[in-house]
């Protein structure tokens, strides 16, 4: 039987609570120490978040509550204005319905919130994970806490927005970004496609149709290596580049297929898919032939297809002209998508400059004015130079910064471009990037799933993060 708790239940609730505390060495939250604190904390006397008890044969064998929570979560982030959904029982097998009810109630409270769910009932937790799609779920043991004797305790965080609607994938990612977590993107696509046999000069995006398994495999390998999100094989799928390959009529097909393949790879990870948008290869007048409207039109056209196909975000990359990058950002923002935008710089005697002479300051201003949500740099440099790029950017903007370095400086070996900086050598720079204020890292040319795997391990060594429930248990 499930009913609201009364003051008379406090002893039973405390006994269960004490059992729980004694059997764990949980250190991630402040526990109430006095009876009064405990009563207030549990909300037994509160009206808004009453405690519910579970009774069997007249005995209280479990309790559950909603309580307000501010502080450090199990994932190491500071959580404001959130609600804890808590369920403690002496017996397993209680809970799914009770917790579902509590979560539904939490959703009506209207907080922009993370709900943390603690349950000793693994089966119930997994059922709820399926039902509500928690932002994060993991065994506490794996996130660095010491639940040695409570191995089946599952910790989950459920993110809701103000209206009680479940947060979208991208909202969850933005939340993590806002909480100061360093996020990991994927590695190179172009050099991976070449390894799989894409010939020099061929149209990479055609592979979305001719080699779907290879393309999906690249996204999957990066996600398996620990990337928090993946890109798409759509970098050059704008009307100007496709025209040069004779594929102008297949723009919709290539872009939609690119998103679909990454979506399929991302599905088991519930990962964000950020669609890649690269430069057109054309220039706006007076340097080139295009009007601003024509350039904007090309990005608008491509991004509309990417959005319709299910992209969560846009990642604008390898841009050499800040004005062109800004037009791409404008198109992404008009489509209502979260937009990361990266410019490519070379290290020159005059500081970092794009191939066409733009400096970091002009680039950052252009991207920020256009409304980019994340500003950064990819390609062109190895890690060492990227730390400097990041520092310069940090001084110019408050936006999150994204850095995707190449695997060192390319060398020509027997007519082939080779990138030699290994996973370990690159990963060593991540702490410095973090110190320089970088929020998102990934890899550009020459990086592989092995690089991303090492990045994951390195990042995890200086911050805790969410872990997914083992696939087998789901």
Which residues here bind Zn ion, judged by CB under 5 A? 379, 444-445
Q: Closest separation between CB of residue 444 and Zn ion, Å?
A: 3
Q: Which residues contact 458 (CB under 8 A, 6 or more apart)?
A: 427, 428, 430, 431
Q: Nearer Cβ to Zn ion, position 375 or 445? A: 445
Task: Kindly state the smallest distance separating residue 317's Cβ from Zn ion, in Å.
Answer: 8
Nearer to Zn ion, 297 or 410 (CB): 410
Query: Strand 2-4 relative to strand 52-56: parallel, antiparallel, unpaired?
Result: antiparallel
Q: Which is nearer to Zn ion, 159 or 379 (CB)?
A: 379
* C-alpha to C-alpha distance for 16 and 64, rounded to whole angstroms: 11
If one counts every other C-beta atom within 10 angstroms of the C-beta of residue 356, the result is 11
In 3-state terms, the chain is what percent helix, strand and coil (to 5)? 40, 25, 35
DSSP reduced 3-state for 214: helix
Closest by CA position to 328, among listed 286, 285, 371: 371
Smallest separation, CB 467 to Zn ion (Å): 30
Residue 159 or 445 with smaller CB distance to Zn ion: 445
Q: What are phi and psi of 410, to 5 degrees?
A: -65, 145
Residue closer to Zn ion by CB (options 235, 254) is: 235
444/467 with CB nearer Zn ion: 444
Asked, as a colleague might, if the bond just before 286 is cis with ω within 30 of 0, I would say: yes
State which residue, 117 or 379, has the beta carbon closest to Zn ion. 379
**Taking the complex as a whole, how short is the minimal distance between the CB of residue 445 and Zn ion, in angstroms?**
3
Report the nearest approach of Zn ion to the CB of residue 388 (Å).
18
Query: In terms of Cα–Cα distance, which of 104, 33, 41, 113 is closest to 81?
Result: 113
d(Cα 439, Cα 184) in Å, to the nearest integer? 9
Distances (CA, A) of 373 to 177, 350, 395: 11, 28, 17
| Closest distance of CB 318 from Zn ion, Å | 6
Quote the CA–CA distance of 433 and 437 in Å, as a whole number.
Answer: 6
Q: Which is nearer to Zn ion, 126 or 379 (CB)?
A: 379
Closer to Zn ion by Cβ: residue 426 or 444: 444
48 vs 88: CA distance, rounded Å: 20
Name the residue whose CB lies closest to Zn ion.
379
Q: At what angle do helices 10-22 and 35-42 cross, to 10 degrees?
A: 100
Please tell me what DSSP assigns to residue 271: -
Minimum gap (Å) between residue 443 Cβ and Zn ion: 9
What is the Cα–Cα distance from 172 to 71, expressed in whole angstroms?
A: 18
Q: Which is nearer to Zn ion, 192 or 439 (CB)?
A: 192
- Beta carbon of residue 345, minimum distance to Zn ion (angstroms, whole number): 12
Q: How far is the CB of 89 from Zn ion (least distance, A)?
A: 53
**Residue 210: burial class (beta carbons within 10 Å; 0-12, 13-18, 19+):** exposed
């Amino acid at each position: 039987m499930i009913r609201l708790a009364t003051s008379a239940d406090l002893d039973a609730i405390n006994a269960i609570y004490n059992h729980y505390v004694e059997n764990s060495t949980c250190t991630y939250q402040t526990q109430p120490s006095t009876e009064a604190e405990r009563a207030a904390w549990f909300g037994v006397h509160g009206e808004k978040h009453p405690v519910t008890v579970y009774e069997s044969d007249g005995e209280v064998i479990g309790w559950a509550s909603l309580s307000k929570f501010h502080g450090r979560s199990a994932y190491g982030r500071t959580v404001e204005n959130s609600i804890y959904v808590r369920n403690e029982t002496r017996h397993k097998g209680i809970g799914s319905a009770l917790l579902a009810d509590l979560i539904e109630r939490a959703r009506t409270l209207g907080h922009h919130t993370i709900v943390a769910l603690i349950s000793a009932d693994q089966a119930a937790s997994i059922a709820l994970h399926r039902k509500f799609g928690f932002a994060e779920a993991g065994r506490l043991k794996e996130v660095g806490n010491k639940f040695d004797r409570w191995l089946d305790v599952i910790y989950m965080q459920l993110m809701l927005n103000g209206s009680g609607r479940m947060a979208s994938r991208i909202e969850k990612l933005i939340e993590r970004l806002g909480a100061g977590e360093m996020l990991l993107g994927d590695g190179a696509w172009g050099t991976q496609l070449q390894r799989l046999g894409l010939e020099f000069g061929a149209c990479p995006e055609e592979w979305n149709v001719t080699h779907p398994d290879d393309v999906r495999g690249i996204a999957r390998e990066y996600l398996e290596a620990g990337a928090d999100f993946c890109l798409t094989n759509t970098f050059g799928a704008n009307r100007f580049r496709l025209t040069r390959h004779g594929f102008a009529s297949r723009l919709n097909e290539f872009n939609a297929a690119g998103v679909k393949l990454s979506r399929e790879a991302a599905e088991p990870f519930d990962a964000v898919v950020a669609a890649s948008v690269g430069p057109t290869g054309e220039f706006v007048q007076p340097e080139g032939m295009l009007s601003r409207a024509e350039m904007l039109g090309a990005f608008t056209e491509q991004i509309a297809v990417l959005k319709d196909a299910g992209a969560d975000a846009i990642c604008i990359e390898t841009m050499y002209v800040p004005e062109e990058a800004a037009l791409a950002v404008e198109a992404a923002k008009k489509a209502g998508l979260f937009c990361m935008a990266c410019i490519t710089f070379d290290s020159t005697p005059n500081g970092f400059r794009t191939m066409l002479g733009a400096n970091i300051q002009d680039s950052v201003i252009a991207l920020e004015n256009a409304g980019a949500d994340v500003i950064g740099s990819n390609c062109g440099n190895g890690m060492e130079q990227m730390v400097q790029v990041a520092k310069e950017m940090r001084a110019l903007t408050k936006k999150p910064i994204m850095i995707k370095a190449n695997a060192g400086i390319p060398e020509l070996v027997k007519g082939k471009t080779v990138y030699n900086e290994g996973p370990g050598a690159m990963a060593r720079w991540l702490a410095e990037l973090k110190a320089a204020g970088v929020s998102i890292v990934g890899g550009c040319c020459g990086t592989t799933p092995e690089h991303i795997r090492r990045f994951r391990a390195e990042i995890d060594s200086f911050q805790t993060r969410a872990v997914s429930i083992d696939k087998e248990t789901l």
